[in-house]
Amino acid sequence: MSLRNWDNKTWLSSKKYIQSFNTFLLKQVKLNKKSQILDIGCGRGKILGSLYSKLQLSKKPLGIDIERHKDRDKRINFKRIDAIKYLEKNTKKFDLILIKQTIHFLTFKKIKYLISLCKTKLKKRGKILIFTLETSQNEIPTFLLMKKMLKESLNRDKKIINFLTGIYSRIKKKNFLFRVKIPKKKYIKMIENRYISTLLDLNSNEISKGVDEINYKYEKILSFKDKLICIILQK
């Protein structure tokens, strides 16, 4: 099972979230209408598309993904390709390379190689921004098995952050926070669609039991903070 269209019909695809995320992003890196942007694991490209409009970019930003998602944003150039394969062949330089909530799919060896490739594709003042879930105080609503799986995933994310911090001296960390308010029925639908990678390996019976737990455990409206860690690397 894959995460195709994973951000569709969630708070991650809302205008409010995308505007908030891009406001945060533009505080971390200076971009203008001539900037070249690459998004690795771009999904449907809504964040990139919003940046295109906000900055009035002269050229469409590039989004790459191994999945061909529905309803892709028409304001971006999209390539269905593995990031490492693309970077090995590509000679283009970028002002920003964005890697949002995808790096945990890679082995540590591939992470190191991917980042080394990204660094060679940066312009003089370019930056790599890597986003991952906040590892210690995450508030995502869960059921028992989901919580266990998420804890294991977050522990790995923590190791990835420590791994990158140990390799690169010029590294900064920032925190992004978005306040979510969502009807429980809508969140349950997201769980049934396995909106997060920790749910991918659960069978239909486990998901069904999890939905029952969510129904019992939470009020009709869920309110929580979606927290991300942003790792900033320069050339």
What would be the CATH architecture of the domain defined by 11-180+226-234?
3-Layer(aba) Sandwich (3.40)
> What is the C-alpha separation between 99 and 132, in angstroms, rounded?
9
DSSP 8-class letter at 103:
G
Ordered by start, the domain boundaries in the chain are: 11-180+226-234
Report the run of H or E that residue 88 belongs to, with start and end. helix 83-89
Mean pLDDT on 70-78? 91
Question: What are the pLDDT digits (tens) for 24-36?
Answer: 999 999 999 999 9
In the numeric block, the tokens 């900055």 are attached to 55
Q: What is the pLDDT of residue 235?
A: 79
Contact status, residue 217 vs residue 104, Cβ threshold 8 Å: no
Mean of the per-residue pLDDT values of the chain: 92
Residue 1's pLDDT band (cuts 50, 70, 90):
very low
Question: What are the pLDDT digits (tens) for 38-48?
Answer: 999 998 899 99
pTM of the model: 0.91
Residue 135's pLDDT band (cuts 50, 70, 90):
confident
Question: What are the pLDDT digits (tens) for 172-228?
Answer: 999 999 999 999 999 999 999 888 888 989 999 999 999 999 999 999 999 999 999
Structure tokens at 181: 């308010």
Task: Report whether pLDDT(5) > 60.
Answer: no
Residues in CB range of 173: below 8 A, 6 or more apart: 161, 229, 230, 231, 232
Task: Report whether pLDDT(82) > 90.
Answer: yes
Q: What is the pLDDT of residue 83?
A: 96
